[in-house]
């Protein structure tokens, strides 16, 4: 039923975790599998959208009809997202982005010399915040993974990063968040909670999210 809303729309999805190199053989990353973002990309393409998927390294196959832009670091994802942003109608920011990266990337493998080793980290750019500040027509869906005070932190992120919707994963619950085939999320708009989705597959979550967005796409986009 949503084919009309999505046909010809440009959807930008980010997925997976970003990877920050320490040296040629070591890195910092997180547990994101990419499943949530890939499910959104797959469903959006099935509904007729033109989908670009900017993804950190994952073990997943590229969904049919989706254009993949593979990235490694947060800076790579930032650059790719900024160059795609202007033509996007809807953005889903499902990636788990490394907030910090090593201040220096060692050219050679670090040697085991000392009893302790301190790694200095510097802050990465916040991609979603930048999208929120640059957006013009784009409908922006942010994500958040929280262990507590879900409502409060979700609403704070939605406002601070200027999102139209925010999808919060309650990662304190079994079956939610990183790595699983399932998720449990709460969806917020600027007026607060819109919908609470109980445990279900990421594919089903993706379908529902696309339906919630389709209902809210400005009429000017729905042509
Ligand atoms: O990949 P899966 O295994 O399927 O797991 C899915 C998921 C749990 C990773 C996904 O549903 C999710 O919640 N992604 C966001 C997780 C996260 O890292 O949230 P955050 O609270 O750190 O960040 C909030 C938002 O800002 C996110 O949209 C994130 O993409 C964005 N962000 C964060 C930091 C940063 N430097 N740049 C960003 O764009």
DSSP string of 18-54, one letter each residue:
--EEEETTEEE-----SHHHHHHHHHHHHTT-EEEEE
ipTM, interface predicted TM-score of the complex? 0.98
What CATH number has the domain bearing residue 14? 3.40.50.10300
Q: How many residues does the chain have?
A: 223
Question: What are the pocket residues of ligand 1 if the criterion is a CB atom closer than 6 Å to any ligand atom?
Answer: 32-36, 74, 93-97, 99, 124, 126-128, 142-145, 157, 169, 177-179, 202
Encode pLDDT of 129-143 as tens digits. 999 999 999 999 999
* Mean local confidence (pLDDT), 163-191: 96
Residue 50 has pLDDT above 90, yes or no: yes
Query: Which of 16, 95, 148, when mutated, tests ligand 1's pocket best, judged by the most ligand atoms within 8 Å of its CB?
Result: 95
The torsion defined by the Cα of 178, 206, 148 and 194, in degrees rounded to 10, comes to 180
Q: What pLDDT is stored for residue 219 in this prediction?
A: 53
* Mean local confidence (pLDDT), 155-179: 96
| Segments forming the whole domain that contains residue 12 | 3-221
Domain count, the chain: 1
In whole angstroms, how far apart are CA 127 and each of 59, 130, 152, 180, 191? Answer: 23, 5, 21, 24, 24
pLDDT band at 222 (very low <50, low <70, confident <90, very high): very low
Q: What pLDDT is stored for residue 220 in this prediction?
A: 45
Q: What pLDDT is stored for residue 1 in this prediction?
A: 64
The atom of ligand 1 lying closest to the CA of 180 is 3
The pTM (predicted TM-score) of the whole model is 0.96
């Amino acid at each position: 039923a949503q084919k009309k809303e999505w046909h010809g729309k440009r959807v930008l999805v980010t997925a997976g975790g970003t990877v920050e190199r320490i040296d040629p053989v070591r890195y910092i990353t997180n547990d994101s599998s990419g499943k949530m973002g890939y499910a959104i990309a797959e469903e959006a393409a099935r509904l007729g959208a033109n989908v670009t998927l900017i993804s950190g390294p994952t073990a997943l196959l590229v969904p049919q009809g989706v254009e993949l832009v593979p990235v490694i670091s947060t800076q790579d994802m930032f650059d790719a997202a900024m160059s795609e942003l202007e033509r996007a109608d809807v953005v889903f920011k499902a990636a788990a982005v490394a907030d910090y990266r090593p201040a220096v990337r060692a050219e050679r493998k670090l040697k085991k010399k000392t009893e302790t080793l301190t790694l200095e980290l510097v802050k990465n750019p916040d991609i979603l915040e930048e999208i929120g500040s640059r957006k013009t027509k784009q409908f922006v869906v942010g994500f958040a993974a929280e262990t507590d005070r879900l409502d409060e932190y979700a609403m704070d992120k939605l406002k601070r990063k200027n999102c139209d919707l925010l999808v919060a994963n309650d990662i304190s619950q079994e079956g939610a968040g990183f790595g699983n085939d399932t998720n449990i999320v709460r969806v917020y708009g600027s007026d607060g909670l819109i919908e609470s989705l109980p445990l279900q597959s990421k594919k089903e979550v993706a379908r529902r999210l696309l339906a919630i967005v389709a209902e809210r796409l400005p009429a000017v986009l729905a042509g």
